[in-house]
Amino acid sequence: MLRILLILLSLGVLNLHSAESPSFRHDVLPIISKAGCNTGGCHGALAGKGGFRLSLFGYNPDADYLALTREARGRRVEMSDPGSSLFLTKPSGALAHKGGKRFDVDSEDYRILASWIAAGCPAPTAEDIKITGLEISPAENSLRPGQTMQLSVKARYSDGRERDITRWAKFTSTDETVASVDAAGNLTVLGSGQGAITAWFSSQIVIARVVVPYPNKLAPDVFTNAPKSGFIDDLVLEQLQKLNLPPSPSASDGAFIRRAYLDTIGRLPTPEETRRFISETSPGKFERLADLLLARPEFIDYWTYKWSDVLLLSGAKLRPAAINAYYQWIRNQVAANTPWDELARGVVTSRGSTLEQGAANFFAVHQDPETMAENVSQAFLSLSINCAKCHNHPLEKWTNDQYYAFANLFARVRSKGWGGDPRSGDGLRTLYVETRGDLLQPRTGKAQPPAPLDAPPLAADSTEDRREALAQWLTAPENPYFARSIANRIWANFLGTGIVESVDDLRVSNPASNEKLLTALADHLRKNHYDLKSLMRQILTSQTYRRSSQALAENAAEHRYYSHFYPRRLMAEVMSDAIGDITSVRDAYTEIALNDGSSEKTTAYNSETRALQLQDSAVRSYFLKTFGRNARDITCECERSNQPSLVQVLNLSNGTTINDKLSAPTSRITHVLAVNNPSEQILADAWLLCLSRSPTKEESEPFLKLLAEAKPEDKRLVVEDLYWSLLTSREFLFQH
């Protein structure tokens, strides 16, 4: 033993002036994690590797300690001869190892592990100091393509100490087009933009930002003379100047009114509304338009539909009467402009009859505490905590214990009704809360003390409804996620791209493209008592929202910083309604699809029902399904697809959606021909209806010639072709 101690002293492993030995939790586990030993492809796999299993990413230190020191008769560590321990000989390459060589014998990792074994393999305890945070430096820097930089990371501990843990941190770049980073934290700049490097250590995350200006030659007054209408423009222009990106000029009045109508109420402006707005020259026209749209009845339809996506209104899970109660509750909140924090509290603490208290259907949809917790987190915090159900989150700070502490808040939620088949009867369930009951943490077999994320635990023996404490924490001004989540969702609706993208992924390791802007939007909501219309008005009246979608040569490459407006395809329901408005023929919604593939008839909708007025995502519609409507199976914007497909192209070009509506006896074409307006008027009305602008000379001349040469019996076909060409154009199909 003396010989081993002398060797360890010579290697610098032991320090006789220090009574401390390496910690399993803070020294051994980070080495294992950085070496990749506990990943899903190695010993962290469900069945382990080579008879040796570790918890994934080290989420269970106690189990890992037992696996290393007790399993297989403790043969993996030799306290009397650390150098012969399998724990050292295999990863150092002294013995054959399927995982290959992970570190050298003369490395610091080897010395730390040997020192821990020589000290008797001290176990992790509840009294171990805790990591209170990480610090990365430099936290932000401005660099040029080709430049490199070494990042360093320090860990802060509960006893006040700090420690450089750079060599054991896991580094990841959030945007490889801007900067890359190697395992040692060496950053290399690859292109222009704003990138971020995340460092992960012991379930803690820290971010370093790198700003790489675009190589544009801009006059100094590009930003000083740019129009501004409030704090949004100030913060967007501040970032554009930092990135050396010029803002595009404002869109035309016709393009803007079309954009504002579609984003705010989900429908196109009429030709009369477009003409009136374009001809108006008095100051304040944009502010008046915003106020008009926010007061329109279609606003209620549109935003009720949007929140129905988030809150999962689906006939696949609820009976029609329950769906109606749930839908009407949401609609009433939108109509009353209920503050978002009140709406969230109403959902989270709901109880009673699902037919009388519509919000109670949120819990009727979710049948277990874990699902309730996951969907509350996703809907109101934009945080996906699902990964932490089985292990500590690999890219976030949420631990397995935090997951079960959060889910335990819902363990006492109960319901009665429905009997066996949830699709039988009228869907009546009665939601109530027990005074006792807990959700067990599978890893320990014990109940995890109930607690909101990042909040102190509640008293386990309290008989109060735990959801009340959750609602208070959820909507508290100091909650770092609640206001940011809804602000980001609103912003993405109007600007097409979230400041955090995707909007359901507000984790620390997915940083905002403009942190100051997102913080300001969230602060605005808090100061205005979560009045969503107030935030929408700020966006609608900003110069940022008013910018043209025509990119400049200097800003065409960017898609995150709002130097111009980003075109995007219309969402399925808005497109369907727009086609119906233009052709004067709507789809019939007569069936609801069931989970078993069958369907049942519904009389809930009539011939005037718009797609945005559908209560139920299970209503059969080939068009809506083809164009990617949200199926509302999970709370995630990823459920809605804007990806183009060949089926969509065929549907528009020669399918029934447009062609049958144009040729129907009740279509607009019949009315256009009956009025017998001049050809120039027919074209002007068609362009205003579909595109909110007048046709150019190059666009109108071919159709004027066709109309002039057409025989009376062929004129309808020409007009139908005219409308078909507009309805299948990219300018119509895209928001721009």
pLDDT of 361 over the 50 cut: yes
pLDDT of residue 668: 95
Q: How confident is the model at residue 19 (pLDDT cuts 50, 70, 90)?
A: very low
- Per-residue b/e over 40-74, b at no fewer than 16 CB within 10 Å? eebbbeeeeeeebbbbbbbbbbbebbebbbeeeee
* Confidence at residue 1, expressed as pLDDT on a 0 to 100 scale: 42
612 neighbors 578 (Cβ within 8 angstroms): no
pLDDT average, residue stretch 74-98 = 89
Q: What's the mean pLDDT in 464-482?
A: 95
Q: Quick check: 478 and 365 in contact, CB under 8 A? A: no
Closest CA to 68 of 5, 113, 35: 113
Contact present, 57 and 125 (Cβ < 8 Å):
no
Q: How much of the chain exceeds pLDDT 90, in percent? A: 70
pLDDT value of position 9: 43
Give pLDDT tens digits for 145-165.
999 999 999 999 999 999 999
Q: Please state whether beta strands 599-601 and 440-441 pair in parallel, antiparallel, or not at all (unpaired).
A: unpaired
Per-residue pLDDT averaged across 431-444, rounded?
Answer: 91
In the structure, what pLDDT confidence band is assigned to residue 419 with cuts at 50, 70 and 90?
Answer: very low
Tokens at residue 397, please?
Answer: 């700070």
Distance of alpha carbon 209 from alpha carbon 137, whole angstroms: 10
Q: Decide if pLDDT at 199 tops 90.
A: yes
pLDDT for 137 beyond 90 = yes
Q: Is pLDDT above 60 for 63?
A: yes
Question: Average pLDDT, stretch 432-446?
Answer: 91
**Residue 140 reports pLDDT greater than 80:** yes
Length of the chain: 736
Phi, psi of 176 (to 5 degrees): -70, -15
pLDDT for residue 394: 67
Counting Cα atoms < 13 Å in the Cβ hemisphere of 518 gives: 24
Rounded Cα gap, residues 484 and 495, in angstroms: 16
User: Which CATH superfamily does the domain covering 131-212 fall into?
Assistant: Immunoglobulins (2.60.40.10)
Q: CA 670 to CA 312: how far, in whole Å?
A: 40
Q: Provide the pLDDT for residue 389.
A: 81
Q: Which range, 41-45, 312-316, 695-699, is most confident?
A: 695-699
pLDDT of residue 7: 44
Q: Where are the domains of the chain?
A: 2-118, 131-212, 231-295+480-546, 299-474, 659-735
φ/ψ of 571, rounded to 5, equals -65, 155
Residue 14 — very low, low, confident or very high, per pLDDT cuts 50/70/90? very low
What are 638's two structure tokens? 């990823």
Q: What is the mean pLDDT of residues 438-448?
A: 90
pLDDT reported for residue 40: 80
d(CA 620, CA 629): 11
Q: Residue 170 phi/psi, 5° resolution?
A: -100, 125
Neighbours of 320 (CB within 10 A): 17
Which pLDDT belongs to residue 600? 84
The pTM is what?
0.91
- Tens digits of per-residue pLDDT, 231-289? 999 999 999 999 999 999 999 999 999 999 999 999 999 999 999 999 999 999 999 99
Report residue 41's pLDDT band, with 50, 70 and 90 as the boundaries. confident
Task: Please report the pLDDT score of residue 247 as a whole number.
Answer: 97
